Structures are given as structure tokens and as C-alpha cells.
Amino acid sequence: MSSDMFAALLVFSFVSSITPGPNNLMLLTSGLNFGFVRTIPHMLGIGVGFVSLLLAVGFGLGALLMAVPQASFALKTLGSIYLLYLAWKIAMSRAPASGAESEGRPMSFLQAAAFQWVNPKAWVMAVTAMAIYTDPKYPLASLLLVAFAFGLVNLPSVSLWAGLGVALRGFLADPVRLKWFNILMGLALAATLWPMLR
């Protein structure tokens, strides 16, 4: 892969990792409700889970799902149901945003890693990256470079969202504001399904 192509891959990785989507909206809410430190396993789980999904797609899982429409439909349905469940949990969350961190539990490392496998945006990112940035002449090397690029930019990108949640804690210390913020984030998370399911 040329240096220009790798630079383009880094830009693609950064833009797709930092733009709003299910992961980033959940991290924003987790940073707000649980603080940055308690959200770290969630952030790490996203990175590891996405890279594992990316590698699986690169090794043929994406092609298999395209060849078996029923499997693709089942995955999309399961992912959508789970994402709507998470949106409901966020919308109904009433944890305090100031003082002691809430007694609830943020998403764990394993939960966040597993979520990548049913996250519609993650699938779109993985399939797109594999289609555009892998070289059929050097499939393994280019696949590993794509995984490396995402691994490099993902944690700093998702950390910004968790940090933004922490920064909003003072403003959202008011229980009424927090209630409406969580409802808004739940609706926004549910709305992320729309462009992916059309």
C-alpha cells in the first residue's frame, strides 16, 4: 500500500470512528453517567471488537453474509433489536450526573466487543474498508494494515465522546436536564438505525 493510500485509509478510519453512531452516542452517555475511568473498558471493547469484526470480514465473513441473504437479514434484525433495547435503557436512565458516580454499571469490555458484531454502522465500516483499502495482490498484508489503521485511530476518537460526556456533567447535574438528555440520546441512538436499514 502506498503512503498516499495509507494516509487516505487513516482519514477514512478517523472520520468513520469519530462521527456519531451507536458506539459514540453510548460513550457520550456513559461518560456522563459513569465518568471517564469507568467507561474505559467500554472504549477498549469497541476497539478490540471492531478490529476482530474487521479481520473476520477481511477473511471472508462479509462475502459469506452477502451470499446468504437470510444470514444477513438475521444479523441485521438481531442487531436492530439489541440496539433498540440499548436505546430504551439509555432513555430510561435517571442516574445522577454530579457528585458520586452513579451506582449503575457501564457497558463492560466484553459487552462492547460483542456489540460490534451486531452494530450496523460497524458492519458498514468494515465492509467498506475491506472493499476499498485491501489489495488483492497482497490480501493479508493489506488486511493487517487496515486493521492497524483502525486500531490506531479508534481509541483516541471514542475517548473524545466519553470525555464530552464527562464535560457535560456539570450542566446536566439538574435531574430534569439529565432526564431529557438521556431521552434525547436514546432517541438519537434508535435513529442511527434509519440510514442503515433503508
Q: What is the mean pLDDT of each run of 10 residues along the chain (198 residues)?
A: 83 87 90 92 96 89 70 72 78 59 78 90 85 83 90 93 91 82 80 66
Task: Provide the pLDDT for residue 36.
Answer: 95
Q: How far apart are CA 147 and CA 154, in angstroms?
A: 10
Cα–Cα distance between 80 and 163 in angstroms, integer? 27
Cα–Cα distance measured from residue 60 to residue 15, given in angstroms and rounded to the nearest whole number: 25
CB-neighbour burial class of residue 46 (10 A; exposed 0-12, middle 13-18, buried 19+): buried
The SS3 call for residue 99 is: coil
Sorted by where each begins, the domain ranges of the chain are 3-197
Q: Supply the pLDDT for residue 112.
A: 95
User: The whole model's pTM is what?
Assistant: 0.78
Strand, helix or coil for residue 54 = helix
The SS3 of residue 131 is helix
